[in-house]
A = this chain, B = another copy of it.
Amino acid sequence: MELHQLRYFCAVAETGSFSRAAEHSHVSQPSLSQQIMKLEDELGARLFDRLGRSVRLTELGKTFLPRARAVLHELEAARGDVAERKDFIGGPVTVGVIPTVGPYFLPPVLTSFSRKFPQVHFTVIEEITPVLLDRLRAGAIDVAILALPIRGHEFDAAPLLTERLFAVLPKNHKLAKRKALSLKDLRAEPFLLLRDGHCFRDTAVAACDRARLHPQVIFESGQFSSLLSMVGAGMGVSIVPEMAIEKKSQCRYAHITDEQAARTIGTVVLRGRSLTRAHLAFLEHVRANKKSVANQALRIQFKSVS
């Protein structure tokens, strides 16, 4: 049983004639006749009574007609559904983000995107980098935003923005007035850093290594805001990326002038994975709005140090 046979059958039922049905279906009458006969053979029963010049549905044909139409209708529904969704920006988008980016970067981007495309429904998963990469591989996450570079050539990574690192000092610290300093200047200080596993921990430690600095870590946390509070309370100093700066804290921030004292944030998707219009629109939106996010961070920084 083939779709064109069902179409021919419906055409004959509707026109009451093989010839007219053939014309209507843009095939020759013998071709159509053959296909109808083939259909009848397969079903093991006649669908039409050939009464000389006129053709009429048999009792069985009458019951088959709505069923054939149902098949063709479902087919059109399927085709139409695809055509519609293909150009539709909406549906689920799952974004994975590392904890040291999520709360700073995502809120403004998501809100402005959702205003533009309210049909898109986000799920945000905040995990450390290796977990995010696993989720990407499994298809549980569509797009990840994390610190580059990453290892794994099955991914497509694109840098989004590079931000400088800042030293965080209590406001009454002797270096608190400095707008910039070298990591070496912090040699004597007790350090507050992120917990192991968070990629910014590695970033900070790597920067210290390069400066031949082996920080004495007296406090660890999973989030920057805790570090800032502790620094504000005078427990020691810390290193944070630009976007983690909070103007309201009791802290002072100084740009770290060391080479490579920076981190790059980028988007990562699984290579070969097809992206919906919503995914693409989101990636584009993130790219277009990275400046404003960065500027927002800068503005905060300028206010806090001035």
Where the two chains meet, the residues of A that have a C-beta atom closer than 8 Å to any C-beta of B are 1-3, 43-46, 49-52, 56, 58-60, 63-64, 67-68, 70-71, 74-75, 77-79, 81-83, 85-86, 91-92, 139, 154, 270, 272-274, 276
Contact = CB atoms under 8 A, between A and B. Distances in A.
B63 A85 contact: yes
A276 B45 CA distance: 10
A79 to B, nearest CB: 7
B1 A58 contact: no
Contact of A51 (B2, B56, B79, B273): B273
A52 B272 contact: yes
Nearest to A64: B82
B74 A67 contact: yes
Given A3-B3, A75-B1, A85 B60 contact: yes
Number of copies: 2
Contacts of A86: 43-45, 60
A286 to B, nearest CB: 19
B59 A91 contact: yes
17 contacts: A1-B75, A44-B82, A45-B82, A45-B274, A49-B139, A52-B154, A59-B91, A59-B274, A59-B276, A60-B85, A60-B86, A60-B274, A63-B81, A63-B85, A64-B78, A68-B78, A70-B78
B56 A82 contact: no
Contacts of A92: 59
Contacts of A68: 78
A43 B81 contact: no
Contact of A71 (B52, B59, B71, B270): B71
A63 B92 CA distance: 12
Nearest to A93: B59
Contacts of A2: 2-3
A137 to B, nearest CB: 8
A1 B79 contact: yes
Nearest to A48: B274
Contacts of A56: 139, 273
Nearest to A70: B74
A74 B3 CA distance: 12
B274 A58 contact: yes
A169 B77 CA distance: 74
A282 to B, nearest CB: 13
Given A2-B3, A51-B272, A71-B75, 9 more contacts: A45-B82, A45-B274, A51-B154, A51-B273, A58-B274, A59-B91, A60-B86, A64-B78, A67-B81
